[in-house]
Amino acid sequence: MSLYWRIFLLNAAVLVTAVLLLFGPVTVSTPVLFGEAVVLLAGLAAMLIANAALLRIGLAPLGRLTRAMSAVDLLRPGGRARVEGPAEVAELTTSFNAMLGRLEAERAGSSARALSAQEAERRRIAQELHDEVGQTLTAVLLQLKHAADRAPAPLREELRQVQETTRTSLDEIRRIARRLRPGVLEELGLHSAVRALTAEFTSGSLTVRHVIGPQVPPLDEAAELVVYRVAQEALTNAARHAGASEVEVHLSARPGGAVRLLVRDDGRGIGSAAEGAGIQGMRERALLIGADLTLGSGPQGGTDVRLDVPAPTTAAIATTEGTS
């Protein structure tokens, strides 16, 4: 029975009952007696209560569908509303689930293209920093050395200081280029890239340790890049925002050929703060390969960032679409 007829028949039943009562034991005098007024008001209250209860029962599936719509998050795909209720509500729920599936697919495709373009732009900028700015600073260093060797003693010390400043700038340019384009990942693989990443973030105030488990299965190029970028973003958050002093980066094998990345810090934790662009970027990258990203509190405080990558045979290699 359609929702229209269900509501119509429910209201009709209440009104017919009221009319039959007026023809039966309930009568009204002129003027209305107190007892009759009490009976009429009690009947009206009973009809309103019955009507409200019946409507609540009939429209309950719509309320559940509304709550399901409000809880939708495209960065956490897979959730669907339960198909139930009258034909119209069931059809509406089915259409909503289908629309949600299309939105998730379109978002995954657009995110893949955007992240692929971002990686290409990062490679271009890193190449220009290395080839153009890096070579220019190297030439400046050689010229400064040549000038310092020929300069008189009072000027030589100043030229040495300028030379040191230029060398520091050159090292910073190279460090930025490495972050933009992880050459060690392309040349030596994920394990070496994780080790290099932990060494890069280790400083006087922050200690970063890596723990790479035995027999971690190899991943495809897209999955390795996602794991690297998630670890990089998690370490950046721990160093800049969490106030952490120690961070551990775990890379381990999971049953069925899956791989888990765990970045655990001893900082202040995420608490109830809203997720920023960095965390949303990690979630979008995880979606590209069908991985599951979880953020939460660590066993002793701080923050745990866990990325579970499925086995390479079932991973969704979405980033290849943007580069083909």
Task: Spell out the per-residue pLDDT of the chain, length 324, in tens.
Answer: 666 677 777 777 777 777 676 666 656 666 766 776 777 778 778 777 877 777 777 777 777 777 777 777 666 666 777 787 777 777 888 888 888 888 877 777 777 777 777 777 877 887 787 778 888 888 888 888 888 888 887 788 888 888 888 888 888 888 787 777 777 787 788 888 889 889 888 887 889 999 998 888 888 888 888 899 899 899 988 888 888 889 999 999 888 888 999 999 988 877 666 677 788 888 888 888 888 898 888 887 888 999 999 887 543 444 333 443
Residue 248 has φ and ψ, to the nearest 5°, of -120, 135
Q: Please check whether residue 218 is in contact with residue 175, taking contact to mean a CB–CB distance below 8 angstroms.
A: no
In the numeric block, which tokens belong to residue 300?
């002793």
Backbone dihedral region of 215: left (phi > 0), alpha (psi from -120 to 50 degrees) or beta? left
Q: Can you give the pLDDT at residue 94?
A: 85
E strand or H helix that includes residue 318: none
Can you list the domains of the chain with their CATH numbers? 3-104 (no CATH), 184-324 (3.30.565.10)
Q: Can you give the pLDDT at residue 153?
A: 78
**R_g (Cα) of the chain, nearest Å:** 33
1 SS3 class: coil
Distance CA 266, CA 301 (A): 6
The reply to whether omega before 31 is within 30° of 0 (cis) is: yes
Distance CA 259, CA 116 (A): 23
Report the DSSP beta bridge partners of residue 251: 212, 261
Q: Please check whether residue 179 is in contact with residue 235, taking contact to mean a CB–CB distance below 8 angstroms.
A: no
In the numeric block, which tokens belong to residue 254?
């999971």
> How far does CA 151 lie from the centroid of its chain?
58
- Residues with Cβ within 8 Å of 45's Cβ and at least 6 positions away in sequence, in order, are none
Q: Can you give the pLDDT at residue 32?
A: 63
Of 13, 7, 8, 4, nearest to 47 (Cα)?
13
Kindly report whether the global pTM for this prediction surpasses the value 0.75.
no
Q: What is the DSSP letter of 287?
A: H
E strand or H helix that includes residue 277: helix 277-288
- Angle between the N-to-C axes of helices 190-201 and 153-180, in degrees from 0 to 180, rounded to the nearest 10: 140
Of 268, 203, 194, nearest to 238 (Cα)?
268
Question: Which amino acid makes up residue 207?
Answer: T
- Secondary structure (DSSP) of 231-300: HHHHHHHHHHTS--SEEEEEEEEEGGGEEEEEEEE-SS--TTPPP-HHHHHHHHHHHHTT-EEEEEE-BT
Distance CA 230, CA 5 (A): 54
